[in-house]
Amino acid sequence: MPELPDVVVYLERLTATVVGQRLERIKILNPFVLRSVAPPVSDTDGRRVIGVRRIGKRIVLALEGEIFIVIHLMIAGRLRWRPKDKPIRGKLAQAAFEFPNGTLFLTEAGSKRRASINLVAGEAALVEIDRGGLEPLTADLDAFSTRLLSENHTLKRSLTDPRLFSGIGNSYSDEILHRARLSPMTQTKRLTPEEIERLYNAMRETLTEWTRRLREEVGEGFPETVTAFREGMAVHGRYRQPCPVCGSPVQRIVYAENETNYCARCQTGGKLLADRALSRLLREDWPRSIDEVE
């Protein structure tokens, strides 16, 4: 799922591409992608895009007359910009936003249709979409600490909870926790002030660094390779590959459709965290430390 760095770069390129342009029409190619009925899609015809913004991981196109197009890419949704004479064919394209200077496509890979478009009228209705997460790059340490300690969860869950923090998901939470040298399973109420400050700095450094890297990668073009697994990540998607800090093989915990990646030496004092499925299967043979693996 595109997270804060990816969404920020999307917004920057959308600003350069469609802000100031008139939206000629929205063409819904898969009826399931549209999750609202009022205002109708036809109300967007001919309205100028006056701005773009981010609400969590959602992308918002603001049109004249306080009509907002809210796009949630979910796991496999992506935005693609094409000249008007180069449409995207096949089943990937879910919707097309047609402008005088080109077409913005919403695509979604796979068989599960989770990406969505909502049309919203008025700022008040738009506010209701916001889950209330703290903005990671503008919050100060005190605000971050207060929000982090407001509920007692594991660090992994807290960082990825959109009610607590805005725009952080599975990928960058792994990278943040690795940089902070903290276990994803540590309970927030057990953190020391020093660890909270370390986590705060790691969060800001990780998100800022990856936003810069993605911005440089895209340049003056449009993001085409938005993915949760990127070359240069320390642990996310790098199961069994060497940790860039200590060289130990990266470990993981798999649950549902997500996984948590971590380095046992750097983050958990050498202890292997129990994977619900695998540790139950192996029972007594489940290794307890990274030393048993290496």
CATH number for the domain spanning 264: value is 1.10.8.50
Is residue 132 in some structural domain? no
What is the number of structural domains in the chain?
2
Query: Which tens digit of pLDDT belongs to each residue from 139-198?
Result: 999 999 999 999 999 999 999 999 999 999 999 999 999 999 999 999 999 999 999 999
Tokens linked to 178: 């690795």
Q: How far, in Å, CA of 178 to CA of 231, rounded?
A: 16
Do 33 and 111 belong together in one domain? yes
Do 8 and 81 belong together in one domain? yes
How many CB atoms are closer than 10 A to CB 153? Answer: 17
Q: Report the candidate in 175, 199, 197 with the shortest Cα–Cα distance to residue 186.
A: 199
Of 97, 127, 157, which one is at a domain's C-terminal end?
127
Q: What pLDDT, on the 0 to 100 scale, is given for residue 25?
A: 96
Is residue 195 in some structural domain? yes
Q: Is the peptide bond before 2 cis (omega within 30 degrees of 0)?
A: no
Do 110 and 9 belong together in one domain? yes
Is residue 187 in some structural domain? yes
Q: What pLDDT, on the 0 to 100 scale, is given for residue 22?
A: 98
Do 68 and 155 belong together in one domain? no
For residue 176, what are the domain limits? 141-293
Do 224 and 90 belong together in one domain? no
Of 98, 127, 156, which one is at a domain's C-terminal end?
127
Q: What pLDDT, on the 0 to 100 scale, is given for residue 11?
A: 98
Do 231 and 184 belong together in one domain? yes
Do 150 and 282 belong together in one domain? yes
Q: How far, in Å, CA of 244 to CA of 66, rounded?
A: 48
Is residue 134 in some structural domain? no
Do 122 and 146 belong together in one domain? no
Confidence category of residue 112, pLDDT binned at 50, 70, 90: confident
Tokens linked to 211: 């936003």
Is residue 64 in some structural domain? yes
Do 160 and 276 belong together in one domain? yes
How many CB atoms are closer than 10 A to CB 114? Answer: 15
Q: Report the candidate in 174, 288, 168, 187 with the shortest Cα–Cα distance to residue 237.
A: 174
Query: Which tens digit of pLDDT belongs to each residue from 224-280?
Result: 888 888 999 999 999 999 999 999 999 999 876 778 999 999 999 999 998 655 444
- Asked whether the predicted pLDDT for residue 93 surpasses 50, the reply is yes
Q: What pLDDT, on the 0 to 100 scale, is given for residue 277?
A: 52
What integer best gives the mean pLDDT of the chain? 92
Do 180 and 65 belong together in one domain? no
CB 252 within 8 A of CB 279: no
Do 52 and 196 belong together in one domain? no
Q: What's the rounded mean pLDDT across residues 82-107?
A: 92
Do 106 and 154 belong together in one domain? no
Of 127, 155, 180, which one is at a domain's C-terminal end?
127
41-45, 51-55, 82-86, 175-179: least confidently modelled range: 82-86
How many CB atoms are closer than 10 A to CB 275? Answer: 18
Q: How far, in Å, CA of 261 to CA of 252, rounded?
A: 4
Is residue 135 in some structural domain? no
CATH number for position 108: 3.20.190.10
Is residue 179 in some structural domain? yes
Q: What pLDDT, on the 0 to 100 scale, is given for residue 290?
A: 55
